[in-house]
Amino acid sequence: MRRFYTGSDLNRVHSIAELADMARRRLPYFAWEYLSGGAEAELTLKDNLAAFSAYGLHARAMVPCHAPDTSRVLLGRVLPMPMLIGPTGYNGLLYRDADIHLARAATARGLPFTLSTASNTSLEDLVTAVPGVDLWFQLYAMRDPQVQKDLLQRTAGAGCRTLVLTCDAMVLGNREWDRRNFARPRQLTWRNKFDVVRHPRWLKQVLWPSGLPGMGNLEPYLPPSERNPLGSMAFIGQQMDTFLDWDMLARLRDQWGERLLLKGVLHPADVERVIALGLDGVVVSNHGGRQLDGSLGSLDALAAIAPQAKGKLSLLLDGGIRRGSDIVKALALGVDAVLLGRSALYGVAVAGETGVGRALDVLTDELALTMNLMGCTHLNHLDRDSVFQRRRT
């Protein structure tokens, strides 16, 4: 009978799905739900995966299988693989100092790492802990202009030259399965409390001795008595700018003189406005299916966006990347690189930096193998003719 490996030797992990299964067993249920769940009926969460399954790959015959060239130029820098770790919040729920572990694994492989506004590790602590990190910073627009100005100054001071503004989370999506784990806001049900006790390794690794971590980037703006998880969560809920609009984005373009990308784009008309404002790129994203349920899967949205962006913007995508072949399909349809979310988080939840490294290495190996099997010697040879559309069931 088929089953995934259940031991601890990561060399015996052969897929992201296998890492996800290990993470599910290691984490208490409420933490697993936070990591893996989506909004409402999770239609968009499922569509992110189904969109990749809807495409097949064209293979060319009689091409020698030398090691393929997997490098890609992104925003003026040559990456060894066309991927980077995207922004994800409150990763300390999965593993102590998870942001640092994610950044170390990415840096060891020459890949950028994106730190979230809602990270547990601050910008300053991250760059101290991970020398040489190619740091990107994801910004949530803040109501208080002084808080946002200070965040931008700290971002520049940390050596970050790439800012990613998230535009699809001004209000939180209806993550009802996540909420069902709580009897009241931030108070687990008794069933979930008992389940936490059944995960002593997680308790020791995450909670002991100080409890859940706060949000490092936000702590400077909190009163001393509120520098804790509850205070940080309340603060970001109050500070999220629900009136974010194109005028604000234009002001941010004036304030931030380095590379600026907009994350959360799904409509080609929005790409035209981004180009007009002089941004450097967009990330095609539906927030991992955690916001508007029923919105397009990321790869489905890409078909209309790629022609608009070609030659004018760097084009990235996240959502649903679980295989090296998924990366090939995204590149064939027009993206320059992909951002990894859950795929990297499954790894960090299992074994910190080592687990993230395994996730990145699995995807890298699958990417190279897929290219060999397709008869593709360089990523630049991928185009729309490299894929075909299946009938989706």
Which sequence positions are flagged as catalytic? 287
291 labelled binding-site residue: no
5 carries a ligand binding annotation: no
- Record the tokens describing residue 240, joined without a space: 């999220």
Q: Is 277 exposed, middle or buried (0-12, 13-18, 19+ CB in 10 A)?
A: middle
Residue 285 assigned as binding residue: yes
**What is the three-class DSSP state of 72?**
strand
Question: Do the annotations mark residue 175 as ligand-binding?
Answer: yes
Distance, CA of 163 to CA of 221 (rounded, Å): 20
Instruction: Please give the Cα distance from 146 to 152 (Å, whole number).
Output: 10
Residue 116 labeled ligand binder: yes
3-state helix, strand, coil in the chain (%, to 5): 45, 15, 40
Residues 6+ apart with CB under 8 A from 269: none
Task: Give the type of residue at 151.
Answer: L
- Establish whether 342 is an annotated binding residue: yes
238 is in an annotated binding site: no
Strands 387-389 and 55-57: antiparallel
Check whether 259 is labelled as a binding-site residue. Answer: no
d(CA 39, CA 54): 22
Helix ranges (DSSP H) in 109-144:
123-129
- Judge whether 38 is annotated as a binding position: no
- 321 labelled as ligand-binding? yes
Comparing CA positions, the residue from 128, 21, 72, 27 lying closest to residue 335 is 72
Token digits for 219?
């702590």
Say whether 319 counts as a known binding-site residue. Answer: yes
Task: Tell whether 144 is in a known binding site.
Answer: no
Is 287 known as a binding-site position?
A: yes
User: Binding site membership: which residues?
Assistant: 34, 87-89, 116, 138, 140, 166, 175, 263, 285, 287, 290, 318-322, 341-342
User: Binding site membership for glyoxylate: which residues?
Assistant: 34, 140, 175, 263, 287, 290
User: Binding site membership for FMN: which residues?
Assistant: 87-89, 116, 138, 166, 285, 318-322, 341-342
